[in-house]
Amino acid sequence: MWYLIGAVVAAVVLQAFWAGSQQGAPMPWSEFERLLAEGRVAEVTVANDLLRARLTEPLPDGRRAVATVRVDPALADQLRSRGVTVVRGEPPAGPLAALLSWVWPFLLLYVFWMLMSRSIVDRHGLGGLMSVGRSRARAYVESDTKVTFADVAGVDEAKAELQEIVSFLKDPKGYGRLGGRAPKGVLLVGPPGTGKTLLARAVAGEASVPFFSISGSEFVEMFVGVGAARVRDLFAEARKAAPCIIFIDELDALGRSRAAGGLMGGGYDEKEQTLNQLLAELDGFDPSAGVILLAATNRPEILDPALLRAGRFDRQMLVDRPDRRGRLQILEVHARRIRLVPGADLDMVASVTPGATGADLANMLNEAALAATRRGAEAVAQQDLLAAVERVLTGIEQRSRVLSPAERHRVAVHEMGHALVAAALPGVDPVLKVSIIPRGVGALGYTMQRPTGDRFLLARSDLENRITVLMGGRAAEALVFDGDVSTGAADDLQRATEVAQEMVTRHGMAGGALGSRAYAPPRHAFLGEVALPPMRAEVSEETTREIDLAVRDVVDEAARRAEAIVAARRAELEEGVGQLLLRETVTAEDLPALRGDTAPPGITRR
**Cα distances (Å, whole numbers) of residue 189 to 3, 252, 317, 318, 488:** 47, 11, 6, 5, 38
φ/ψ of residue 67, rounded to 5 = -140, 150
Find out whether the peptide bond into 300 is cis, omega within 30 degrees of 0.
no
> Where are any strands of DSSP class E within 151-289?
185-189, 211-215, 244-249
Q: Is residue 317 within 8 Å of 161, Cβ to Cβ? A: yes
Which residues are CB-contacts of 56 (< 8 A; sequence separation ≥ 6)? 39, 40, 41, 42
**Residue 484 marked in a binding site:** no
Helix or strand holding residue 50 (H, E): strand 50-55
**Cα distances (Å, whole numbers) of residue 128 to 34, 113, 123, 132:** 63, 14, 11, 6
Q: For residue 207, give the amino acid letter.
A: A
Tell me which of 221, 301, 390, 415 is the catalytic residue.
415
**Residue 194 marked in a binding site:** yes
**Cα distances (Å, whole numbers) of residue 71 to 21, 32, 44, 211:** 21, 11, 11, 76
**Residue 173 marked in a binding site:** no
Reduce the secondary structure of 377-408 to three states and give it as a string.
Answer: CCCECHHHHHHHHHHHHHCCECCCCCCCHHHH
How far apart are alpha carbons 173 and 183 in whole angstroms? 15
**Residue 195 marked in a binding site:** yes
User: Can you tell me whether residue 247 is helix, strand or coil?
Assistant: strand
**Cα distances (Å, whole numbers) of residue 259 to 224, 255, 256, 451:** 20, 11, 9, 43
How far apart are alpha carbons 413 and 203 in whole angstroms? 53
Decide the pairing of beta strands 244-249 and 211-215: parallel
Residue 300 DSSP code: G
Report the number of secondary-structure helices (H) and strands (E) in the chain. Answer: 21, 14
Q: For residue 146, give the amino acid letter.
A: K
Q: Is residue 302 within 8 Å of 530, Cβ to Cβ? A: yes
**Residue 598 marked in a binding site:** no
**Residue 409 marked in a binding site:** no
Does the active-site annotation cover 31? no
**Residue 543 marked in a binding site:** no
**Residue 193 marked in a binding site:** yes
Q: Is residue 185 within 8 Å of 314, Cβ to Cβ? A: yes
Residue 105 DSSP code: H
DSSP for 76-87, please give it: HHHHHHTT-EEE
How far apart are alpha carbons 347 and 353 in whole angstroms? 10
**Residue 124 marked in a binding site:** no
How far apart are alpha carbons 33 and 17 in whole angstroms? 27
Which parts are annotated binding residues for ATP?
190-197
Residue stretches of the annotated binding site: 190-197, 414, 418, 492
Task: Summarize the annotated binding site for Zn(2+) as residue ranges.
Answer: 414, 418, 492
Give me the active site residues, please.
Answer: 415
